[in-house]
Every structure is written in C-alpha cells, then in structure tokens.
Amino acid sequence: MKQLLTALLSLILFISCSKDKDEVKDYTAENEKEIVDYLAQNNLTAQRTNSGLYYIITKEGESQSEGENTEGNENDGHPTLNSNITVIYKGYFTNGKVFDESTEGVSYSLRTLIPGWKEGIPLLKSGGEIQLFVPAHLGYGSNGNKTVPGGAVLIFEITLVSVN
C-alpha cells in the first residue's frame, strides 16, 4: 500500500511539473505593443478590431460580375466563412523576415485558415488588397508551428484574387 501511495504521489508531482511546459502564455499585451510600435515606426495608420487584429485596406476590390460563381459569397461581394478563396500573399515578422509567401494564386477554404485571416479577408471583395497585423492569439498562438515561433506577431500582405 505504501508503494502504491508513493507511486501515485510521484505521478501527481510529475504531471503537475509537466503542465508548466504546456502552459499557454498570454502574449496579448506584448503583441499589442509590438504592433503599435511597428505601425508608428513605419508611419502606418491601421484600424483595430475588438479582437486585437489591426488592418489596412489598400484596395477594397469589386463585387464579382454576373455569371461568376458566387456560391458562399452572399455578403455583397465579400467572402464568408463558407467561401473558398484564391489569394496571393506574403507573411513576415515585424523584423521583415518572410516566413511564407505565394506569388501565384492559392485556394483555401476560409473556414480552415487562422483566425486573423477569417476576420480580415471578409473585409475585402475580389481584387481587394489588405495588410493584416495579426497578434499571436489570432495566428499560431503561444506554441507556433514549424516556421512561426510561439507568441509571434505576423504581418500579411494579401490580395484576394477571387471568391470561388
């Protein structure tokens, strides 16, 4: 019984210690400052949403003409979460280092993309262009992915080629 109790206590200590490694860090305040500083240093004026996404629409785009496929695009030419979109984009950090880029149109279901894109892309119509300043909680979070470190602010320059 004493061995079972010792083993159980050891397991509890191990689990509680390992949780520290998986703890999610909140980068909200750091990211906000990093974005605001970047905008100021580059003389940029951006809009901020309630979620903390900053954006600059450089070209709104136009509604698709009659005869084009507008399925899932019932919001006055703007894509919805149910839309499939084709985009050209460049993603980089505030230090200018590019982590992802597409110079030819790539298609995605908007629903499958990071929250910052889900919120920012519907602000455009086909042919529109936007610059998104994405805090970590709307990007890849505190864990990151293969090319993005946890807690990173992401900047995207996106052209919405079409809403398919």
Query: Is the pLDDT confidence value at 4 over 50?
Result: no
Instruction: For 148-164, write each residue's pLDDT tens digit.
Output: 999 999 999 999 999 98
Instruction: For 71-87, write each residue's pLDDT tens digit.
Output: 444 557 899 999 999 99
Query: Is the pLDDT confidence value at 117 over 90?
Result: yes
Tell me what pLDDT residue 63 has: 72
Among 109, 107, 113, 112, which residue's Cα sits nearest to residue 156? 113
User: How far is Cα 126 from Cα 122, in angstroms, rounded to an integer?
Assistant: 10
107-122: average pLDDT: 98
Q: Which pTM does this prediction carry?
A: 0.81
On average, the pLDDT of the chain sits at: 85
